[in-house]
Structures are given as structure tokens and as C-alpha cells.
Amino acid sequence: MSCITSPPMLEILMDYLERNWIRGRFWNPVHWSCFNLLLRTNNDCEGLHNDWNKLAGGPNLPFYKMTMVLEQLCEDVKLSQKLLLHEKIKAHRKKETQLKNSILFTLWSRYHDNELSTVELLEEIVLELRTSFPTVVP
């Protein structure tokens, strides 16, 4: 029986990942995994920052102009809060994104119900996304 060894630098990296990101006190898979989450990217934050930059007229603001922009944003948050509370607005998702989410949540549900192993889940995700979105997933 042969034993596979890895380069020392890879072992150092894997040890670091294990200590800090898998079994760490501050960061573990619950904090960085996007499993079973609707939002899996920072696109929403990026879009919000772009909107703020447009409202401000660019990213490099003088202090006083920035305070006026921040005041306007606070007013917008108050209005958005009221509209969300009364279910007058909802998050907009493209049809393609809604379909991808539907596929992922169906597969995650099957995984949660022990119908799929971890390897089968990953294979199904690749197969489904490759079939449904052939130009996006090579």
C-alpha cells in the first residue's frame, strides 16, 4: 500500500485552514458557508454601493456633501422600512436567478432529507446548472 504525501507548504496551508476556518473560535463553516442561503454573493451590497455613488455624484466626496448624502440615505431607509413592513416592496430577482435558486433549494432539500450524499449533491448541482444554463456553467 502506497502513502500519498503532499508538499510541506500545502500541509501548512491545510493546517491553517483547519485551525482557523473549520474548527476556529471565531470563524467556522456556519459563518462562511452559503449552503441553504438565498443570498450567496455580495451583489446586493455592490448594487447598493453603486446606487450610493450615483446619488453622491461619485466616490470622492467632500465631507459636507457626504453628510447631506448620508441624511438622504437615512430618509430612504425609513421609507423602505415602512414599505417592507406593509409588504409594498419586495426584492427583485431575475427569472434566471429565481430558476437557479429553485434548483439549488430542491437539491438542498433532498440532501437534507438524506436522499443525496454530499458527493451526489455536488454532482447533481453541476449537472442541473450545466443543463439549465449551458452558456454559464462550462
The least confident of 5-14, 38-47, 101-110 is: 38-47
More confident residue, 22 or 40: 22
Angle at CA of residue 6, ends 4 and 7, nearest 5°: 150
43 has pLDDT over 70: yes
pLDDT score at 12:
92
Quick check: 73 and 54 in contact, CB under 8 A? no
Q: Which residue has the cell 438542498?
A: 108
DSSP 108-123: HHHHHTTSS-HHHHHH
pLDDT score at 3:
66
Widest pairwise Cα distance in the chain = 71
pLDDT tens figures, 46-77: 877 888 888 888 878 788 888 888 898 888 88
What are the boundaries of each domain within the chain?
A: 1-33, 43-85, 93-138
pLDDT tens figures, 81-119: 888 888 888 777 788 888 888 999 999 999 999 999 999
Quick check: 126 and 136 in contact, CB under 8 A? no
Whether the model clears a pTM of 0.85, i.e. scores above it, the answer is no
